[in-house]
Amino acid sequence: MAGCGSWVFFLTVCSASLFEASSDIKVTIPVGKFFTHELFRETFQNDFEPLGKVYGILYNDPIIFKCNKQNFPDLPEWLRFTQRNPYDNGFLYGTPMSPGKSIIEIYATNQRSYDTVRHLLIIKVVPDKILPYQVEVFIKLREIEKVLPSTVQDEIKQDLQKLWDTETLEMINITNALDRGGRVPLPLAGHFEGVYVKVGSEEYFSKCLLRVLTPENKKQCKEEAKIKVPGECHFCINPSNCITWCKTELFDLTKMKPKPPAPTMGSGILEAGEDFKPLESPPNRDYFPDYIVTVIVPLILAIILFLLLAYIMFGRREGIGKRNARTNQIQLYHHYTIHENTDELRTMAGNRGVPPPLSTLPMFNSRTGDRASPLQSDSIPLIMAQQDPYSDTLPR
């Protein structure tokens, strides 16, 4: 039994080492050529459930991929990754511009069981010559995930070979329009993000491609008019692969100026020379004009405003005081005349000798004309409710 257990352990270790060895993928690509690597969900699904096919259990689990350069948090600057949703395959794509070696870590996470698998992709970039003639076209009715599969790339390449009239055509780069400043399309049918496809060749451009440089084509594109493409230049088997002529660009690298040579690295030690002479002190400067502008002028303005305000507040109060005094005198004279007239009317009323009217006497009876004394006990009060608040005051 102990021997059987050791054999099981040995087989487990061997299978694990073979699994690790098989998970490392090595590729070699030249500089300036387009590279794409598709991450198939079926491959990682088999890693999650290695005995699923033996027992006839097949899963279609959602898988999320995460890629980064080994010992780094992100991918190299020339490499990109895309995956639209967990039920689609992932793609690593890009165009290296300098030789080197990159180790890419690929982590696949199963969202059903939360298992994780790690694969390594070793990319070796070797030097190669750059194709001198390049063309970049824009495909409006495509998205980056639909163009990266090799079958779709072959379709686009065949159409561009007919347009260029050459078989020696190489794919250089494929870029999402959103990475070039494009707008996010509406989530409706018939709206796509668009992709830029760049191809290159050692042969010169064809006549159809040279039509892009004609003044007539530039004028139509500037006026946003519909471009009339001749029949011999219309190579578009699949309508989704048709290019936009106004966004087509030609690159002739033979006419471009070469880059300046890189600066040579020195030893880092300054050459022997004369002693260092520090700069002399700056000449003296007269700050009095600045003092006048910043201090004296505002002070003079403040004094002028102060004097103007003092004149308004105190210099004109004499006329206002006289006018107020005159008004007060008129009011006092008017009041005094009212008092004199009142006294005169009282004097005239007292000298008439006419008895006052009976209605002005206290407790006057309008029916009999008699006047009752207010001290009599049988007098009737004006308000009956003054004696008994609960008595009925209505006449019977």
Assign 3-class secondary structure to 229-250.
Answer: CCHHHCCCCCHHHCECHHHCEE
Residue 276 lies in a domain: no
Coarse DSSP helix, strand, coil percentages of the chain, rounded to the nearest 5 percent: 35, 20, 45
Which residue has better confidence, 35 or 346? Answer: 35
147 and 226 both lie in a single domain: yes
User: Of 72, 101, 126, which marks where a domain is finished?
Assistant: 126
- Give the pLDDT score at 17: 38
Residues 85 and 32 in one domain: yes
Is 1's pLDDT higher than 50? no
* pLDDT band per the 50, 70, 90 thresholds, residue 235: confident
Q: Is residue 202 part of a domain?
A: yes
Q: What's residue 322's pLDDT?
A: 64
Find the mean pLDDT for residues 320-343: 77
In a domain, 3, yes or no: no
Domain match, 169 and 110 both: no
Q: In what order do the strands lie in the sheet with 249-252?
A: 170-176, 195-201, 133-139, 249-252
Task: Return the number of other C-beta atoms located less than 10 Å from residue 237's C-beta.
Answer: 11
**Domain assignment of residue 80, given as a range:** 24-126
Mean pLDDT of 278-306: 88
How many separate domains does the chain show? 2
Distance CA 235, CA 394 (A): 117
Q: Between 98 and 277, whose confidence is greater? A: 98
Contact 242, 236 (CB under 8 A): yes
Distance CA 332, CA 29 (A): 115
For residue 364, what pLDDT is reported?
54
Q: Look at 239 and 18; give whichever has higher pLDDT.
A: 239
Q: Is 343 exposed, middle or buried (0-12, 13-18, 19+ CB in 10 A)?
A: exposed
